[in-house]
Amino acid sequence: MKMFAMMMAATFVAVSTTSAFAQDRVNALVGKLAAGDAVEGVFYSTLDFNSARVTRGSDLDYIIIDMEHHAFDAETLRQFLINVRTPDGNFPVTPILRLGTPGSEVHMQRWIFKQALDAGVMGIMVPFVNTAEEARQAVMNMRYPPMIDDAAPEPRGVRGWSPAVAANAWNLPVPDYARRADLWPLDPEGELLLVVQIETRQGIENLAEIAAVPGVGAIFIGPADLHNDLGYLGQSGVEEVEELMAQGLDVANEAGIAIGLTPAGRSLQERLDQGFRFMTR
Distance CA 174, CA 158 (A): 18
Quick check: helix, strand or coil at residue 177? helix
Query: Across the beta sheet with 278-280, what order do the strands follow?
Result: 258-261, 216-221, 193-198, 123-126, 94-98, 62-66, 39-44, 278-280
- Residue 81 near residue 166 (C-beta atoms within 8 A): no
For residue 232, what are the contacts with CB-CB under 8 A and spacing of at least 6?
A: 238, 240, 241
- Residue 259 near residue 220 (C-beta atoms within 8 A): yes
Question: Active-site positions?
Answer: 69
